[in-house]
Amino acid sequence: MYDVLGKVKEKAKGGKWPEIVAVLLLAVVVAAILYFAWNGKEKVGESDGYAAKIEARLAQVLAQMEGAGDVDVFITVKSEGTTVIATESVAGADGSVTTSPVLSGGDPIVLETCNPEITGVLIVAEGADDLNVRFNLLEAAASVLDIDQSIIKVYTKSDGK
């Protein structure tokens, strides 16, 4: 690292500021790309099971609609969802309160499991060029997923040419 700084100082003395700025800018861009790529992959993996399961089932059902043809579905989610576990609070003699999970057989008791919030749905169907089919796909997906139609996009599948 020290050697790199020494070379930067030499170039700065030689009037090579544009080169230094370009290299530093390039380093920042590469670091940002690596950071977002790493974080993005991690987040996709967190909820990948839920989204993948819903995508497969929804595509299967939508493909059965009249005129839909072959259907692919892609769903994006905001987070991995939440799990609410049962807890108990114990007041100590000194007035402190300690909260701990209620266990059954060594496992915490789950009171509620909330699925991830769906932030977008992409439907690509062979028959989506027909406006009635497109509307039916949009309406069905919104109904099944209990989401607003504005976050669903429906497009016609290419014929592979």
Centroid of chain to Cα 64:
27
Report residue 150's pLDDT band, with 50, 70 and 90 as the boundaries.
Answer: very high
161 inside domain: no
Characterize the bridge pairing of strands 118-125 and 152-156.
Answer: parallel
Q: Could you give the CA distance from residue 159 to residue 35 in angstroms, rounded to a whole number? A: 37
Report residue 58's pLDDT band, with 50, 70 and 90 as the boundaries.
Answer: very high
Q: What is the mean pLDDT of the chain?
A: 81
Q: Could you give the CA distance from residue 109 to residue 102 in angstroms, rounded to a whole number? A: 6
Any idea which of 14-28, 40-54, 123-137 has the lowest mean pLDDT? 40-54
Report residue 108's pLDDT band, with 50, 70 and 90 as the boundaries.
Answer: confident
Residues 17 and 50 both lie in one domain:
yes
46 inside domain: yes
Residue 127 belongs to domain with CATH number: 3.30.300.30
Report residue 50's pLDDT band, with 50, 70 and 90 as the boundaries.
Answer: confident
For 88, phi then psi, to 5°, come to -130, 145
Residues 63 and 107 both lie in one domain:
no
Residues 27 and 61 both lie in one domain:
yes
pLDDT of residue 41: 42
Residues 101 and 33 both lie in one domain:
no
* CA quadruple 149, 151, 157, 160: dihedral, nearest 10: 180
97 inside domain: yes
Q: pLDDT by residue (tens digit) across 122-138?
A: 999 999 999 999 999 99
**Number of structural domains in the chain:** 2
DSSP of 34-54, one letter per residue?
Answer: HHHHHHHHHHHHHHHHHHHHH
Owning domain of residue 59: 2-81+116-156
pTM: 0.57
Report residue 43's pLDDT band, with 50, 70 and 90 as the boundaries.
Answer: very low
Identify whether the C-beta of residue 136 lies closer than 8 Å to the C-beta of residue 65: yes
Q: Could you give the CA distance from residue 149 to residue 146 in angstroms, rounded to a whole number? A: 9
Report residue 5's pLDDT band, with 50, 70 and 90 as the boundaries.
Answer: low
pLDDT of residue 95: 82
Find where tokens 């690596």 sit. Answer: 34
60 inside domain: yes
Question: Does residue 76 register a pLDDT over 80?
Answer: yes
